[in-house]
Structure 1
Amino acid sequence: MEPSSVALRLATGALASLIGKLFVKEGPGAELVDRPVRLSSLVSFRGERRALGEPELRRLASELVRRAGRAVGPAEAPSQETVAELTDALTRALHALGDLDMDDVQAVHLGPEALAARLPRPRDLSADADARWDALLHTCCVHVLHFFTTRSTFAARARVEQTRMLHRLATTTDLLVERLGDRRAEDAAFERRWAEHVIARHGELTIHGLDIGHGHEWPLDAAYVPLEVTTPETEPGSADPPAPAGAGGSGGSGGSGDPSGLVLRAGDALAGRERVLLRGIAGSGKSTLVQWLAVTAARTHLGPPRDHPPGLDHLVGRVPFVLPLRRVVADGRPPTPDRFAHAVGSPLAAAQPDGWADRVLAAGRALLLVDGVDEVPERDRETVRRWIRDLMAAYPGNPWMVTARPSAVREDWLADRTGVRGFAELSLAPMSRTDIELFVTRWHEAADADPALGTALVTAVRTTDALARMAVNPLMCGLLCALHRDRNGFLPTDRRDLYEAALSMLLERRDLERGVDTTVGGIGPGAGTRLSRDALIQLLQRLAHWMIRNDRAEMDRADAVAQLARVLPAMAHHLTADADTVLRHLLERCGLLREPVPGRIDFVHRTFQDHLGAKAAVEEGDFPLLLDNAHRDRWEDVIRMAVALGRPAERARLLEGLLGGTEENFPPPPPVDEAGARAVRRVLLAADCVAHATELDPGTRRRVTDTVARLLPPADLRQARFLAHHGGALLLGLLPGPEGLTDEEAGAVVVTALKIGTDAALPLLARYRHHPSLWLRRQLAWNWHHFDAERYAREILADLDDEDLYVSVHTPEHLRLLRGLGGRARVQLVGTHRPEELITHLVPERLTHLWWRNLPAPGDHGAWTAGFPYLREIRVRRAAVAEGFGPPPGFTAAPHPEDPKAVLMTRDTGDTGERETGPTGS
């Protein structure tokens, strides 16, 4: 049964009314012609304008299946069992429309076949249902796209998009003409083969070191997450909203220049920069970025210019050469251009036309991607540096990207002989919260894993501090994904399993699988000693223990050498290298240490320093040292890990020590003194440690539980604020409710979580979305400016009971996100908002009450209210009226009956509606 034949047998009107129900009603003046609306905000089964719930969506899908079945005639009509199968599958497919990362114009550009391919294909259909599925989905997609083209704003937006596309096509075509020039036919034919070869070789990601029984190759398009890079002056994460400790992330925006503090997407790193030295720790995504750049450039040789990603014109027409140094530097001699293909083991090496690489480089059409300076022996790095500089001098005008770990080469390593910097030096930033979620989602898609597992893992990372501290780069996120899937959605609560798996990957498996020489000392093949995992851990423990004892996050290189020198004599029977050589090996190959500035050593993740230091502290019996510092933030993870790593008696000793001496200061009487604050923090830390103690004396466990019970739930707002300030994220896994709590207790719990202010609090807050207390829901509606706004909107506001509730809008982004949720009836504007922003983002069909908390911006004297026919009340401060903000046309003003500092402007309809005091904030 051909899909097109079924579509022709169904008249457009037969399904138009049903398809129309899938999407929200179009409002007058609701959309700007140059701002296509994402499908997620158009579908009618999401947000607050939803007309369809899950049951209604299923009934609609059932009717679509029934009508499609009727169209093929009684002889070919499906059985009831087949109808049920197709209804289930179509319901899932229609629901997935809201997950597509595109707008309606882009969807129409795709066409029905490509749109259908973006929707999930069922895996478990019977033979009869499977034979009908493609025709059914194609028919639905035809009518969905037809519906988009009938929207009043579609034609105008399509013309805008068409103009942009034509401009982009002309620009990139000019680039191709300029870069390709008058190529020999033989060169052109080979370059197409070379592009296909690059895509085939680098179009998959290889994940090393995962102890699971699944394939390790993932499609690059499905698994690649565009990370961010920063200039050396930038402090990664400094512009981000609060995040779980260690989660990292960056809130800056990209650009084409290179000012201090710049943050941009890694794919744009070469835009406006001819040469880049990219630094990144082990597993941060350097090699993956190299692959992505190569594949993106190669694809511009195979398709029309309009098909390449926006913003990457600098890659159009480039011939990519991926040169992993560990492979191409043979016996210390890097290859000449005519040997590039031979050095990487390309099967096309012998087929390249004579002089082809020279002609490409001389014309300035190459893209040179030199990966892994740290993966060649130190004695060969000066040769590599000279090789790069010689090629740059002989073939100017070609963009370069060279990658290295942070400590592998000095600053300005590639500067010319006069000291002028030849390369812009950038660093890969830690993954942001959005990056982590995208990576986990794509990993599960690429691995053909259950999407529900990915959703559960994202939630676990956001709510579990230990996971958040590890999920800072693709390598660690991949480890968590693999462990999570391998254990059927269960990640061990015992931290040792997580960290031992990570240590095994970084210290033992990764370099071995990649074929990198990991021997220490010696000269020539086969010389030197390959250190075992246990030996490496002993060396690293020595450094971590010193840093913890001395309360340092980094140490002088001389101190590191001295500490290693003290432990090396115990390894003399199989390791003869000196301490300086061993330290260099640890910096370059173990993936855990780095030299951020010359002469200073630290761990790439504080998590590993704490884990290894705690392991050494337990082995040394340093329990008094741990307990004496238990009240200090920087020691919390060390103590948690010491409890996890210790034997049962050692765990009990630590936990009893945390609780000891709290009786006289606990619970803290008002006003709370320093001793009371320390007592609370120690108790909360003990409660958190219990979760990581797999074997523990029942009496100790009971004592911890009973002590915490005296604290929670907080009795009032005073105690809530105190616990949030002194307990922080420790509390999130302990806060109860809402079941069994009074309204006052529930409100205190919510205020505690809001004051903690990290995204790890969102799952707890989500449990209170339907609480009957209006005061409690006001706190949820007011405080989203303390969190990641998009995530808060999705997880809290989207399903928040908003009856009689004003939702506060602090920024233009909040306005945009609120519109994506379908708008709200009552909106409180905090700060200055322009009338055009209100016209663009507030939903006319929903808005009935507007509270302008601060002075309105000067504008059209209220003419904008004509676009909101259901708006009944506007509340403003008296000061706004004094500044000239009079009632809009059709409104009258009077003192607010409940707030002497406010004026209430009411539409002359005789229906003022219920007056509302709105949120006050916690």
Structure 2
Amino acid sequence: MYDVALKLGVAVVKAACGMWIGNPIAQSATTTVVDLVQQKVTGKRDQRRLERRFAEIEESIADRIVSYLDHEFRGLPDHEREAAVLAVTDSFTRAGLTDRTLFEQDLDALYLERYIRDRNPHATRDLSDAAVSLYDRVLPESCAYVLATVSTLPDFQAGAFTELLRREALILEHLEEVLDRIPQRPEGREEDPEAAFETAYRRKAAERWDVLELFGTDAHTRRYRLSLAYLSLRVGGWAEESASGIPEEPADRRVEQVLAAHSRTFLRGPAGTGKTTLLQWAAVRACRGDFPDEMAAWDGLIPFLVPLRRYVGERLPEPEDFLRHTGRHLAEQAPPGWVARILAEGRGVVLVDGVDELPSNEREKARRWLRDLLSDFPDCRYVVTTRPGAASESWLDADGFVSAELQPLREEDLRAFIHHWHEAVRGGTADEAERDRLNGYERELTQKVLGRRHLRAIASTPLLCALLCALYRDRHTSLPRDRIEVYEAALAMLLKDRDEQRGIGGVDLSRRELVLLLQELAKWLVLNGSSDAPLVTARRQVERVLATMHRVGDGAEDVFTHLVVRSGLLQCPTVDRVGFLHRTFEEYLAAKALVEEDSFPLLVRHAHDDQWHEVVVMAAGHTTPAQREELIGGLLERAGRVGKHRDRLLLVAFACLETSPRLSRRLSDEVRDRVRSILPPRTRDHVHALSMVGEYALPLLAAVPPENARQAAKSIETASAIGGPQAVPVIARALEFDSESVMLAAQRAWWKEPGEELARVLFPVIEERRPHYYVPVAADRIRLQARYMPDNPRVSVEGADGDGLDELAELDGVTFVDLRNRFGARWHDIDLAPLASLPRLDKLYVDGEACVERLAPLTGCPITSLELSHPAHTRDLALVQGFTALRHLGFTRSLPAVPFGALVPERGLESFSLQRVPLRDLRYLADAPDSTTALDVFQCPSLAGLDGVESQAGSLETLTVRQFDSLRPFSLEGIDSLGALTGLRVDRWTWELPGSDRWIARLPRLRRLYLDFGLRMPDTVPSWVGDLPHLEHLYLQVEAPVSLRPLAGRENLTVHVPRGARVLGADRLGTGSSLQRTTTGGVVPW
């Protein structure tokens, strides 16, 4: 069988090699890979090495074919299997892969398969039915192998074969990984033609979007697999409660946690924060079904990425049009109505990128288009992105979206990103000397960025941090002092310097001439409100500028090709369009062009438009002092004339100070005086605009004290976004207002920059007003809590491998310790020995990627509540049985090998919780003691119902089920077997499941019902709640107005809601009923 499979492997590699070279002649029936090598490489030694490399690829593919046959068709006789595989090989040979379409970038495996079938219509006529079935499975697999092989080879250009030899081991390793990750056809649907198309779509989408461009690297190392280089991002403006009911941190959660918890997410973030990269990452992971544990519910989804920039001035897409962004051939070959069926089944995730890239007058149309999708396909997941200035955080609230804002990179993020960048570059080179140099660059740059405040400010986004990495590697000299200098240096590096340093030829244009050409294209895009242009239009802009360049001898076609292929600044999102790789470069170059044309009236006229904000701000950095006075003076003059856009124009003028190296004292003072009139900040847009200015804004904030709690909270947000010692007095004064919004903002400020100066002013206030708040301290800064919050009973520690807890000894009054890993790090084998010195410790929670090896140090502590993450890592878990005071036990992320009954103390347990545990039923609780009266199931995505809970029928009094939008519906069927149940907490995705109301109505003793609404949209209490005969307390966790009208006339019912919640219909409640608001903030206690 192997010899037959090897022949197919040879045919696959030949097809891949021909496509890689881009030469249809290479696909003639008589040409072999050896012939191609001999044509392209002259040295005998290198020829033999290349032949061996391609032979290894052929053997690797042959091994996979044999393994596939043994797994899928082991019952078929050998001669039948051989005949089918030979037929596939013959089909490849006879197809003559010479059509130019096959050499285009967006080719997909399904198109290649159908091309081969069309040219071999009788390939299976002599095969048995079983062998035909095998042929139909092996052919698409082989086509996928062809494209996977092409994707791993270096970009074909001069020197490509040399590069293949230089990185041969890396390329072969990469190929194995790529082949391993090819999405497979769904089990049980092998003969389903729609399943075949779904597989082809997943494969193409995974290949299409799994690409990350690293600026400033060599051509052969510029493109990296996004799934490997992706850095998890933080978001703010979103909070949740933990499984234990303890309030979690209100901000700076990992974006994966937000996506996992909500079906509709609205992500806002400034330029370069990674919005598009995040959507690509989600699309790739969905295609491959390999999300991290917390997003396991997304495995099996089919992603549709919709870049709104493609629809400027055009009709927004129908569902079937979604396919065109992944591959035009796929769109042509899709079964009719396929996308709509996927969406109707709730199996899709719609990733809508770039509301801000639509002109402002087209955004309302986009919102209506999105609402139509939500109405037609309510069960799908949706993620929408925008820059903050284009849409407020509440823009999609009425449609059930949770708004979250991508946060600047913090210290640990910067460390991780710089490491990721250098690791990706190291992975692309086999030169040990270069790898050593990269190690040194990484150490030096990390030290400089973290040690110099202006560099930390510059490197606040993934884009700017990547540019710093590239510049440091390229020049290894002084680093820029502001972002204008970063872009200027990056252009110099990308356009000319690298080609010259590495001896790469190109068109005979100076860097200045290349910049002029790019400026013209950028200006055209900005003036026309577009992110990309038809190739013919872009080429025409180049021709027009070239006509004025008397020293240029190259033709327009050569120059345009050079700009697209070699500049590192342009990309072709489709075969017929071109745009800038990142919009920030478009804005920088357009600003430069407009300044050189003295187009200041135009800049002032458009300054209120969020699409022009960065263009205007960067223009201030390109101007001469006199031009700068004209631009900023014009902004102030217009702000004085117009009422509608006054605030935005003043903030744009203020933002120009960031990029202005010089400005007259008179104009500078006037800008500050005018901006002072709109302070303190009142909106997120104000916060963003002021924070972009940086430290210049802090004196103004300090000079204008807040007059109410809302202004105080926004002042804290602004000061913390800027950071530094000058921010602390602003935060301290705002803390004079005792409100939930102020305290949450202060908590977020600590989360962003946890330094001693802030601890000195913040910790005493938290200890006095909000002792239940989550205030994390690093493992090496526990002393800050001991010094400034010594009487707080709870300490929350974040750490990473190697961190200890010795400083806890200073907090002998602590009763509650929770431990979790630092963002992006592991914290395994935590030594709990220091906890033995805490005589009052009764609660220990270990969460996230933190875990403990031994519990022995706790044997002397009066532990009543214990929650462990990854309990399977804890070697002496059985000691829990000896914790005589223990009343609550919880497991997160996994179950231990120890049976539940072996962990229960003699006196039993009162409550048990399961959080993010991959279990399919509740049979683990079969030997739970009768004393267990409460069970909490929190985000267990594989759990579909209550199967196994019947063992607790006689004892369970309180049940909590919070799946938060798991794709797997959670059924309450059988809940009526819990005859002792008096309290039930469920989320909307559970209670809205058909039949849930009937099961809840069968609970004979239900007195307390807690409904988690989850979505930020107006809602109404379900009508069936009013029919529950014994209900005495109804708890509503809502973030938007809620109507109680279905409860009109209901007697003797107390309705609990968060403080500040808007409630309609409370006046219609019956005798003895009342509305009560929580006094502890936004979480209703349970």
With structure 1 as the length reference, what TM-score do the two structures score? 0.42
Which protein, 1 or 2, shows the higher relative CO under an 8 Å CA cutoff with sep ≥ 6? 1
